[in-house]
Structures are given as structure tokens and as C-alpha cells.
């Protein structure tokens, strides 16, 4: 009974438990096929570890879970807005080596 109902939460990737964000309010997805960003609203509270690249997985999963954004993939940028009003501007890490800088 010592622990709260939430219990200890550790990141599945980096194992840290002190770097979780506030719950995600909305993810604005940018993709080449969109004239404007498409908002994805999580169906439940998602907090994400901000100490590693876990947020990329969160975005990938969210994009893949919605038919509109899945069809427009790959996403190029996403703005994750948290319940405290903060935002994270995420640029997709893609295999773009072939776009060599001339």
C-alpha cells in the first residue's frame, strides 16, 4: 500500500522514471500531403519520456493508428502539445542521406 495507484513508471527505452512529460493533449502532424497540420488527439492520457527518443515512437504509433495520417505518411514534423501548455517541435529523423547537400 506504500505506492500510489499509478505506481512507479519507467521509460521502456531508457528506464528513466524522472523525465516524463505532462499528458499529451494533441499531436499536430505535418506531412507532405497535408496543406495544414492534422491534429491527433490521444484517446487517453499519454505521458512520454523526454530523456530519450521515445517521443518519436509515440508519434509513429499515433500516426500509424489513424487512417488519415497513415495515408499521408511519412510525417515530416510533429508538434506535441502537453496538458501544461508546453510543446515539443519534433522533426522526423529520416533516412535522408541520399539528399546529399550539394
The answer to whether 14 contacts Zn ion (rule: CB under 5 A) is yes
Closer CB to Zn ion, 13 or 70, in the complex: 13
Q: How far is the CB of 34 from Zn ion (least distance, A)?
A: 28
Select 27 or 31, whichever has its Cβ closest to Zn ion.
27
Using CB atoms within 10 Å of the CB of residue 40, give its burial: 0 to 12 exposed, 13 to 18 middle, 19+ buried: buried
Under rule CB under 5 A, residue 54 binds Zn ion: yes
How many CB atoms are located within 10 Å of the residue 59 CB? 24
Site membership for Zn ion, residue 13 (CB under 5 A): yes
The alpha helices in 32-89, defined as continuous H runs, are: 54-65, 67-72
CB neighbours of residue 44 within 10 Å: 6
d(CA 70, CA 36): 15
Interaction mask 24-53, Zn ion, x per CB under 5 A:
-------------------------x-xx-
Binding site for Zn ion (CB under 5 A): 11, 13-14, 49, 51-52, 54
Amino acid at each position: 500500500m506504500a505506492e500510489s495507484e499509478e505506481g512507479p513508471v519507467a521509460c521502456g527505452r531508457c528506464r528513466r522514471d524522472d523525465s516524463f512529460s505532462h499528458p499529451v493533449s494533441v499531436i499536430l502532424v505535418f506531412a507532405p500531403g497535408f496543406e495544414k497540420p492534422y491534429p491527433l488527439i490521444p484517446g487517453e492520457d499519454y505521458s512520454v519520456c523526454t530523456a530519450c527518443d521515445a517521443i518519436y515512437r509515440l508519434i509513429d504509433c499515433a500516426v500509424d493508428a489513424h487512417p488519415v495520417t497513415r495515408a499521408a505518411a511519412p510525417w515530416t514534423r510533429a508538434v506535441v502539445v502537453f496538458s501544461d501548455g508546453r510543446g515539443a517541435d519534433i522533426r522526423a529523423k529520416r533516412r535522408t542521406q541520399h539528399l546529399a547537400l550539394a
